[in-house]
Amino acid sequence: MEATVGDKLLVHGRVVGIHDRVAEIIEVLGDSGEPPYRVRYEDDGHECLFSPGPDSVVRHLAAGPGQR
């Protein structure tokens, strides 16, 4: 898994009644975009270190004009 600052991390709920959560990646601590990441959850603003598992998906920022 590779991510950059500003990407969104979608964490799927693993138990019935637990909703999916979205977090913004605010710092990449691994080499070449690898985990762990410092994230801020959108629903409550909580920040933590996170090493995503198979229940997580990175949503990359859309490249703007002149960006790759």
Q: Tell me: the pLDDT tens digits for 20-43?
A: 999 999 999 999 999 999 999 999
Cα atoms in the Cβ-side hemisphere of radius 13 Å centred on 55: 11
Residue 18 pLDDT exceeds 90: no
| Kind plus residue range of the DSSP H or E element containing 24 | strand 21-28
Task: Give 14: exposed, middle or buried? Use CB within 10 Å, 0-12, 13-18, 19+.
Answer: exposed
More confident residue, 68 or 17: 17
pLDDT above 80: residue 68: no
Confidence of residue 51 (pLDDT cuts 50, 70, 90): very high
Q: Is 31 exposed, middle or buried (0-12, 13-18, 19+ CB in 10 A)?
A: exposed
